[in-house]
Amino acid sequence: QFEGPFKEFARKLNFEHVTSSPFYSQSNGAIEAAVRVAKNLIKKNPDDISEALLAYRTTPLENGFTPGELLMNRKLRSTLPILPNELDKPVDSSQVIEREKQIKVKQYDKYNKRHRVVANLPELQIGDAVWVTDLRDYGRIIQIGPEPRSFVVRCCGGGTYRRNRWFLVPAPYYKEIDKRNLPPPITYAGPTLKSVPNPTLKETEMQTSPKKTARRSTQTSNSFEQPQVPISQPATPPVDDVEKPGTGTSSRPVRERKKPDWFGAWENK
C-alpha cells in the first residue's frame, strides 16, 4: 500500500530499504521487536510520544543499564530528579555489551541444535521444482534474492510469489504436465441434459403401461357395479352378562383394604 511513497522517501534521504520475505518475521526479529516497543509506547502515552521515548531511554534494562547509557555512555536527564554531578560521570558499558553478545551466541547455538535452521538447508537454484508449504502448491524458482535466503517462485496455479527458504521444500520428483502434448478431450455425441425435453404430467400418464391402465379401469368399474355392504358390528352383550367391577375373579392378588374409623362416622351422618 505504501511501497511507492516509502521508496520515494528512501531516495530523498539516501538510505537503502531492505525488505524481508512475506510471512516470515523471524528473519527480521530486531526490527519486529523495535516496532512492538514503539507500538506499546504510543498506546500507553498517545498524547506526548517524546515523553514516552524519554521514559523508555532512561529505564534500566535487565543488565542494569538504560538504553541511553548504552548508546551515549552517560546518564540522560529526565523528569525524575537527579544530582547534576551524576550526569557528568562516564558510564563504561563495554563489558555489558560484550556479555550480551556472548549470551546471544549461546542462544543461537542452542536454537540451532533443536530446531530446523534455514541457514543449514541445502541451496536451491533457478529452475528447481519446489513444494510451497503455506500455499500447498508446486512451483519452480525463477529468481534468487537479492535478499538472503529469499526466492521468487512461479506456482502451477499461475501466480508468482516471494517466499523464504523456510517455506520451500525441494521436489525433484515433480514433473510439469505439458498441456500442449495432451490428446484432445473426448466429447459425447449424444443429447445433453438441456436438450432432453421435460415431460409434462399428461405425457407421463399416457406413457404408463397398459396393464396398469387396465387394472385401474377394472377397479373403477367394480367399484360402481358392486353394492356397498354395511359392515356388521359385534352386538353388545346384555347387561346381566357384563361383570361388575370388583365382583369377577382376577388373576392378580388384591390387597385387603380396611377403611379408617372416622370414615364410618362420616357415612352415618
Domain count, the chain: 2
Q: Choose one of 119, 147, 164: the last residue of a domain.
A: 119
Share of the chain above pLDDT 90, in %: 25
CA–CA distance from 3 to each of 6, 7, 195 (Å)?
A: 5, 6, 54
Tell me if 52 is assigned to some domain.
Answer: yes
pLDDT recorded at residue 248: 54
The model's pTM: 0.51
Q: Which residues of the chain have a pLDDT value below 50?
A: 1, 178-180, 182, 188, 220-224, 241-243
Cell of residue 129, nine digits: 521444482
Let me know whether 31 and 61 are in one domain: yes
Cα 253 from Cα 249, distance rounded (Å): 10
Query: Does 252 fall in a domain?
Result: no
Which CATH number fits the domain that encloses residue 144? 2.30.30
DSSP for 193-207 reads TTTS----HHHHHHT
How do residues 181-192 score in pLDDT, each as one tens digit? 545 655 545 555
Q: Residues 131, 92: one domain?
A: no
Q: What kind and span of H or E run contains 142? A: strand 137-144
Domain extent at residue 77: 3-119
Check whether residue 34 and residue 100 sit in a common domain. yes
User: Could you read off the pLDDT of 124-182 as tens digits, one per residue?
Assistant: 999 999 999 999 999 999 999 888 889 999 998 889 999 999 999 999 888 765 444 54
pLDDT at 92: 82
CA distance linking residue 115 with residue 96, whole number of Å: 28
Instruction: Give the pLDDT of residue 242.
Output: 47
pLDDT number for residue 37:
92
What is residue 163's predicted lDDT score, i.e. its pLDDT?
Answer: 93
Same-domain pairing of 145 and 173: yes
Alpha helices (H) along 62-200: 67-72, 84-87, 94-114
